[in-house]
Chain A
Amino acid sequence: MADWFTLVAIFLLLTVAAALVRCWRGPGPVERIMAAQLAGTGVIGVAVVLGAARGDAAFLDAALIGTLLAAIAVTAFVRGTAKPGAKE
Chain B
Amino acid sequence: MEWFVKRLGISVLLVWLVATIVFLAIYLVPGDPAELLLSQGGAAPDPAIVEDLRDQLGLNRPVLEQYLHSMAGLLRGDLGYSMMDGAPIAGEIATRLPRTLELIGAAALISVLVGVSTGTLAAVGAGGAFDRIASALAGLGLAVPVFVVGTVAILVFAQSLRLVPAGGFVPFSQDPAQHLILLLMPAGTIAVGLSATMFRVTRSAVLEVTLRDYVRTARAKGLSFRRILTRHILRNALIPVVTVLALNLGTLLGGTVLVEYVFNWPGLSGLLVDAVNGRDYPAVVGVVLVISILFVTLNFVVDVLYAVLDPRVRHG
Same complex for A and B? Answer no
A-to-B contact residues, CB < 8 Å: none
B-to-A contact residues, CB < 8 Å: none
